[in-house]
Structure formats: C-alpha cells, structure tokens
Structure 1
Amino acid sequence: MKIAVFGTKPYDREYLNRANQQYAFQLDYFKVRLNEETRELARGHDAVCVFVNDILNQPVLETMADAGVRLIALRCAGFNNVDLSLADKLGIKVARVPAYSPEAVAEYTLALILTLNRKTHKAWNRIREGNFSLNGLLGFNMTGKTAGVVGLGRIGLATAKLLQGFDMNVIAYDPFPDEVAIKAAGIKTVPLHELYHHADIITLHCPLTDSTFHMIDAEALESMKPGAMLINTSRGALIDTQAAIRSLKAEHLGYLGIDVYEQEGDLFFEDLSEQIIQDDIIQRLQSFPNVLITGHQGFFTREALTAIAETTLTNIHEFAETGTCKNLLTKAYLA
C-alpha cells in the first residue's frame, strides 16, 4: 500500500521506518499537516496517516474519497479531528491507536503536578542565575490531600495508581466505569460535582466529545475548592480557557497545568521562537506565575513512539489483508 504520512517530524519517520521493516509499505512523508490546503497531496495513495492536529473535515474527506483513499490511520487515540459520520458515508475507514503507553501520559501528568507544586522549573532558572533564595518556592505536601481523576480509562487508572503511591486520597468520576478494574485499584468513584468540591488536585483523562467539550466551564471552576490545582493532559477543549483565565485572575483556581490547549493546532509541535505569537489567549495564560504550559509532549517517550508506530502499521496491514482491523472505529463511535 501507498501511504501518505502527514505532519511528520524526524522522530515520526525514525520510528515508522523501523516498524515498517516487516511490511515494506511505501511511506510518503509530508511535513505539512493534512487540511484543506494540503488535501491534494493525498491523491495517489491508498491510505493517509495523520496525527492529532490534522483536520479531516468535509472538503478534505471528499477529496480523499475522490482520490480513492480507503483508510485513515490515526497515530493517536483521539479522533475528534475526523468527521466520522461523513467518512463512514464516503466509505473511508478510520483506525486509531487506542492505547500506546498509558504510563507515559500518567507519569507526565505527575511531572506537571510536582513541577507546579514544588516550582522546580522556577528553582532551576534561579540557580542558573546564582539566586539560591527559597522565597516564592513554597509548595505543599501531597500526602493526605485528595486527588480527583476525571476519566478512568487506561491513562486515568494509571494516573490514579501513581497518585495513590503518594498516599493521596484518590476519588474519581467516569460515566462508563469499569467496575472490576476500579475495585481492583481501590478507587472510590463519586459524582462529578462532588469530585470538583472535594479534590485538591483535579486531573483530566477524557476524550473530547460533544458532551465533554468545555466540561470545565465557569460553573465547574466555581464549584472547585479555592486554590485547587487543575491538570489537563487529554484534549485542550475540555477546558473553557477564557473561564480558566477569569478564575485565575480571581485567585480562585490555584494552579493550572496543561499539556494541551484548545487552539494548539496553530502552535504546538512547531518552533515559533523567532516569530510573533498571534494567540493572545495563550500569551495571557503564560503571564500567570501559577500556570505551566507544555507543548503536547505527554506521550513523548521511546516506548510510546514504538507502540504508536507498530500499532499504526499493524492496523494498515490488517486492513490491507482483510478490509478491516481490530482498532477500526465502528458505527458505535458515530453516536
């Protein structure tokens, strides 16, 4: 099969080429993302391979269907950037990588929490400048505090277990809980409003759907404990960023750590250090001393990149051989 691989970086090519040694697909790499401006590059290919910020809307999908593209192979778990209903109508199948390394994102979530709390990023900068003062670096003990985990899929469960290792009281919410796994982990589930009310640290591990879009809005933020920490390593649009800014300004939300951002498509994965950033919202976020922003690197480990590449190409191989694969997004995901 001929596969157009969009939005690629050197590390994508390295790990995909390694995984492709057993399949020998023709992988045509494009640095640009797939969107309305680049959609013609899909012509002449049987499949496209895309990542989180590629846009597969009606114009793109219709061009792909006209070009004979039969498969969209996502190199990620989320699929909110694909119009699944239209893809289904056009006869284009969509496969994803449902679980590449839950531990990678869970461990990174913990890194954000610890950095925000103990201010190690600020301490590092101070020491480099010869400033050994501790003023402004005060943190809090996590032991005995309450952590609220929103979403108990594989990443959420892995995160909950790490937080339990800090002797935290872990509570969680999931609309479709795996009771067996939750019981085995010893996690108490509570209604979402109760989690907001009691948690000192809230960490989000949800897919982005119509029901979770801006789930952290002004009302949710107001119901949180004063000084609470909010962490998001899932999808940026789970948080209403403007509402979060207002809560930070009011000194109600105590800390915000995000590895994702609802307008990240124009920013993340690119070196913009020599350019003027046009996004005023993220610039405002960066002005707060209690906000930590990173550029969607929670997944970025050797183990995760290996799993992503291998699962992506296995999906393509299974589809080429049988017309389907175990990680295909079926009609059940269209609701």
Structure 2
Amino acid sequence: MKLLVYSAKDFEVPFLKKANAERHRVTYIKEALDSRTAIKAMGYKAISIFSGDDASLVVLEKLRDLGVKYILLRSAGYNNVHIKAAKRYGLRVANAPDYSPHAIAEHAVALLMALNRKIVLADRQVHAYNFMLDNLMGTNLHGKTVGIVGTGNIGSVMVKIMHGFGCKVLGCDLQPDHTLVEAFGLEYTDLDELCSQSHVISLHVPLTYENYDLINASRLERMRRDVLLINTSRGSIVHTKALLEALENKEIGAYGADVYEREKGIFFRDNSKTGITDKQLKKLLSFPNVLMTPHQAFVTTEAMRNIAISTFDNMAAWEAGTVCKNELGYETIITG
C-alpha cells in the first residue's frame, strides 16, 4: 500500500522507516495536511498525519475525492479530525493510543519540578555568574495535595509518581479507577473541590466538547493563590484569556504547559527570525512564572518507536482485512 506521511519530522523518520521495514511504499513530506496540501495525497490510498494537521470536513472531502481510504494518526489525540465526516465519506481513521503514558507524565513532572524549584531562573543566573539564592525559594512536594484531572493511562502514571513523592493525591474522572484508590490512596472528588484543595493541579484529559475550557475563570478563582497548574493535555482545556487574567492578578502561583490552544502555524517550526503575531501567546510567555515547552512531551525514543510501530500495525490490519484495534469510533468530539 502507498502511504503519504504529512508533517514528517527529521527525528521521527528513522523510527518510521524501521517500523515499516520496506513493507510499504512510503513518501515523507514536511508539509502539514490542510486544504492546500491535500492535493499531494493524489495516488495514495493511505495518509499519516500528526496532531497539528487539519483533517476538517473540507479537507476530508478533498481526500475522499482523491481516492484516499485510510488516515493514520501518529498521536493519541484526534481532536483535529472530523470523525463524523470521515465516516460519512468512507474514510477509516486509527490513532496511536498508549504509545508511552510515562513520557507524558514524566514531562509533566519535569515542568512541575522546574517551576517549583526555579530551575530555569537558577540556570540563567549561574550562567551569568550570579550564585545568589534570594530568588530561588521553592517548596517541598512531600506532604502537599496534588490534583490529577483525568486518571486514565497518563493520569494514572502521574498518580503513582506523585504518590512516590509522598503527596496526598486527589483525582477527578468520569470513570474512577478503584485500583488506584486501593494501591496508592487516591481520593476521588469533583473538579471544583479538587481545584480548591490542591497545591498542584495536573491536567490529563482529552479535548472533548465537555472538556473545552474546562479550566475557566470560575475554576481558576477557586484555586489556591500559590497553585502550580500543569497542562500536558491540550491547550484548549484551559481558557487562555482567563488564565492570563489570573496570572496578571497573581491569583495562581505558576503555569507550566507543553501545549497551547492555537498551536497551528506556530508550534513545530522555528519562528526565531520571523517572530510570532499571536498576542495572547506573547503575553503568556512574558510572565516569569510561566514555563512552556513546544509540545515535546512525546519526544522520547520509546514513545517514537511505539508510535511508529502502531502506525504500521494499523495499516497492516487494514491491508489484511483484519480488525484494527486502534480504529476510532464516531463519538462526538471537537472537530478540526
């Protein structure tokens, strides 16, 4: 089967080539999928896209007309795909779930620790030969209350890590995991209570209609003024305007994120020479108590290997006419 890989990044191509093992004819291009680049899929039965690609209704219609049958996501999240339209157009879609929950959870911990112990500031000062400690006060995590919003594959790993730190862990999820309660002392509560009680809040939920702007002005107001809020899920889980106001008014302690609600056209590219025009992002990055990384939580060798393997396993299942375990259903989600 011929496969076109959109948004192919130099660091992931070797993993994809190894997983393919020359079984399929694969073309790698750096361009992201959108209404303009969809034409490049002419002659391909399958395409592979990343979380920043646009698989909205208009784009899917073009892909169908070009003869594309399969869409392989190199990510767990699929809020950029109009699943209902894909079904209507006869396009089959599969993602790469569970590629490495540890990679995401560990990155969330890295953001948390760097913010709490002022690691970035300390490094900057030391490189300027300033070895003073006045601005570097942190707190012990041991004994603190940590709220985990979403206790699925990634959130459950975060629960275990925070339990290891000696934290009291609160959880919020529509489907409680009672094994976490029994093994790690997790206490489930509602989101508002979690927001008001937690010293640290870490977000690990998918982007659905229900979760869009889940952390809004009302919930930010409930949080402790010294709370550390960590987001490695999706940018739109947090209402950016409300977050900026909370930071400006010193209503929360700090914000660490690997995601941003309007990543498209900014993330996954070097804007150092041209700059950016997104005023909200510029303002967010201006706060000294904001630490942001460029959607890199998944960039570990283990995660990249697993994503590549899942991608070609999904493709092989469709080609063989067998069940593709990662084929997506058609539940209502945020569309592209």
Superposition pairs for residues 13-32 of structure 1, below 5 Å?
A: 13-21=13-21, 24-32=23-31
Equivalent in the alignment of 1:295: 294
| 1:296 CA drift (Å) | 0.4
Give yes or no for the alignment of 1:284 onto 2:265: no
The change in CA–CA distance for 1:104 and 1:334 in structure 2 (over 3 A counts) is closer
Is the Cα contact below 8 Å between 2:208 and 2:333 reproduced in 1? no
Equivalent in the alignment of 1:65: 64
Instruction: Report the Cα distance in structure 1 between the residues aligned to 2:94 and 2:52, rounded to whole angstroms.
Output: 16
Instruction: Report the Cα distance in structure 2 between the residues aligned to 1:320 and 1:186, rounded to whole angstroms.
Output: 45
Kindly provide the amino acid, as one letter, of the partner of residue 70 in structure 1. K
Local SS of the residue matching 1:171: strand
Local SS of the residue matching 1:266: coil
Instruction: Report the Cα distance in structure 1 between the residues aligned to 2:217 and 2:300, rounded to whole angstroms.
Output: 34
Kindly provide the amino acid, as one letter, of the partner of residue 129 in structure 1. A
- Measured against aligned partners, the alpha-carbon deviations of 1:154-210 in whole angstroms (never above 9, x if no partner) come to 100001111111101011000122334543343111111110010000000000010
Kindly provide the amino acid, as one letter, of the partner of residue 268 in structure 1. F
Give yes or no for the alignment of 1:250 onto 2:214: no
Is there any run of 5+ residues in structure 2 with no aligned partner, and where? none
Equivalent in the alignment of 1:210: 209
Instruction: Report the Cα distance in structure 1 between the residues aligned to 2:116 and 2:91, rounded to whole angstroms.
Output: 46
Local SS of the residue matching 1:270: coil
Equivalent in the alignment of 1:306: 305
Equivalent in the alignment of 1:12: 12
* More displaced 10-residue stretch of structure 1: 266-275 or 194-203: 266-275
* More displaced 10-residue stretch of structure 1: 28-37 or 181-190: 181-190
Superposition pairs for residues 120-269 of structure 1, below 5 Å?
A: 120-269=119-268
Is the Cα contact below 8 Å between 1:116 and 1:290 reproduced in 2? yes
The change in CA–CA distance for 1:43 and 1:324 in structure 2 (over 3 A counts) is farther
| 1:331 CA drift (Å) | 3.3
Local SS of the residue matching 2:12: helix
Instruction: Report the Cα distance in structure 1 between the residues aligned to 2:285 and 2:303, rounded to whole angstroms.
Output: 28
- Between Structure 1 and Structure 2, the one with more helix by share is 1
| 1:282 CA drift (Å) | 1.0
- Measured against aligned partners, the alpha-carbon deviations of 1:213-245 in whole angstroms (never above 9, x if no partner) come to 000110110111121110000111001111000
Is there any run of 5+ residues in structure 1 with no aligned partner, and where? none
Aligned-pair identity (%): 39
Is the Cα contact below 8 Å between 1:85 and 1:334 reproduced in 2? no
Kindly provide the amino acid, as one letter, of the partner of residue 248 in structure 1. L
The change in CA–CA distance for 1:94 and 1:142 in structure 2 (over 3 A counts) is same
Kindly provide the amino acid, as one letter, of the partner of residue 79 in structure 1. Y
Equivalent in the alignment of 1:95: 94
Instruction: Report the Cα distance in structure 1 between the residues aligned to 2:255 and 2:29, rounded to whole angstroms.
Output: 34
Local SS of the residue matching 1:264: coil
The change in CA–CA distance for 1:332 and 1:263 in structure 2 (over 3 A counts) is closer
| 1:75 CA drift (Å) | 0.4
Kindly provide the amino acid, as one letter, of the partner of residue 292 in structure 2. I
**RMSD over equivalenced CA pairs, Å:** 1.3
Instruction: Report the Cα distance in structure 1 between the residues aligned to 2:12 and 2:46, rounded to whole angstroms.
Output: 17
- Structure of higher RCO (CA pairs closer than 8 Å, 6+ residues apart): 2
Kindly provide the amino acid, as one letter, of the partner of residue 5 in structure 1. V
| 1:314 CA drift (Å) | 0.5
Instruction: Report the Cα distance in structure 2 between the residues aligned to 1:194 and 1:24, rounded to whole angstroms.
Output: 52
The change in CA–CA distance for 1:323 and 1:86 in structure 2 (over 3 A counts) is farther
Local SS of the residue matching 2:166: coil
Is the Cα contact below 8 Å between 2:2 and 2:46 reproduced in 1? yes
Kindly provide the amino acid, as one letter, of the partner of residue 12 in structure 2. D
- Measured against aligned partners, the alpha-carbon deviations of 1:227-274 in whole angstroms (never above 9, x if no partner) come to 111000011100111100000111111110010000111211111111
- Measured against aligned partners, the alpha-carbon deviations of 1:10-37 in whole angstroms (never above 9, x if no partner) come to 112111001111x521111110100011
Instruction: Report the Cα distance in structure 1 between the residues aligned to 2:277 and 2:301, rounded to whole angstroms.
Output: 33
Query: If the length of structure 2 is used for normalisation, what is the TM-score?
Result: 0.97
Is the Cα contact below 8 Å between 2:234 and 2:261 reproduced in 1? yes
Query: If the length of structure 1 is used for normalisation, what is the TM-score?
Result: 0.97
Local SS of the residue matching 1:170: strand
